Amino acid sequence: MATQVQIEQIIDTALSEDLGRGDKTTELVIPPSLGGTAGIIAREAAMVCGAEIIRIAFLKVDNTLQIKVNVPDGGRVKPGDVVLVVTGRVSSILKTERVALNILSHLSGVATATAQYIEKVKGLDVKISDTRKTLPGLRLLEKYAVYAAGGQNHRPDLASGILIKDNHLTALSARGISIADAIAKAKQGGRGMKVEIEVQNLDQLKQAISGGADIIMLDNMSIDDMKKAVKMVPASIKLEASGGITLDNIRAVAETGVDVISIGAITHSAKAIDFNLSFVTGRPAQ
């Protein structure tokens, strides 16, 4: 999970990108003393994630702003619901508006997509996981959004786990190094870390089982082959299905009996959720 320092670094980068040279429009037309209240409002049904993060963004721009979060991360909204209310200098609110909406829209999109996949496998003993297919610089926030929606996080970086993938095996096979040899080498130097290996067919699966892999990823396998794999693998080895997973086929994949289904689309292809920021005249936002 992202630490406070890491979250602030991401926000600082976003604010610098948008506000680093100032806001010419706001500075020219909005009186510095003008106060107001604005609400961030959902325009579609979604699962919210990021409200507490954008609170930090607003306060970084102006620590005198008063902010009320109405919907916690993982909460549901319908069109018209007010997610967050911010009161204070209008100029400060306007300077933060786009960064706040970008973060909230994207993370809510990730959380909503994750929740949709989880709903499809409801009642089955399987976990939905993210991957490293994330947008540059936003991985930790995207993984937080997956977690907030009830999903599971795969390794956050290359140092956090051992996963022998197809390109590792291709490179090793050119030197006559087998799957079992690769697993043994990883276990020897891994200092007790679990070793996961990606396989693309049942022959590779057999080699991974005999080599002593802790976790085996079934990459782009057919439903029939996944069913066979589940029967072949001892209970001590966890099975992960990945590749080509959609909302249409995830239930069938889960019913094969795999332990985890990892989906890159919940991060790299999540549809942004539509929110807008609107100022309220004559009364506080609800």
**89 is annotated as contributing to ligand binding:** no
**55 is annotated as contributing to ligand binding:** no
Residues ≥6 apart with Cβ < 8 Å to 110: 49, 142, 145, 146, 149, 266, 267, 270
C-alpha radius of gyration, the chain, whole number: 23
The whole-angstrom separation of Cα 22 and Cα 285 is 28
**198 is annotated as contributing to ligand binding:** yes
Q: What are the distances in angstroms from CA 26 to CA 31, 34, 153, 255, 265?
A: 8, 11, 40, 55, 37
**112 is annotated as contributing to ligand binding:** no
214 within 8 A of 181, measured Cβ to Cβ: no
**244 is annotated as contributing to ligand binding:** yes
**262 is annotated as contributing to ligand binding:** no
**257 is annotated as contributing to ligand binding:** no
Please name which of 122, 141, 82 lies closest in space to residue 130, comparing C-alpha atoms. Answer: 141
Burial of 53 (0-12, 13-18, 19+ CB in 10 A): buried
The whole-angstrom separation of Cα 281 and Cα 167 is 59
Residues with a catalytic annotation lie at: 98, 133, 165, 198, 219
**265 is annotated as contributing to ligand binding:** yes
**165 is annotated as contributing to ligand binding:** yes
Please name which of 160, 161, 205, 208 lies closest in space to residue 181, comparing C-alpha atoms. Answer: 208
**219 is annotated as contributing to ligand binding:** yes
Q: Which residues are annotated as a binding site?
A: 98, 131-133, 155, 165, 198, 219, 242-244, 263-265
- Binding region for substrate: 98, 131-133, 155, 165, 198, 219, 242-244, 263-265
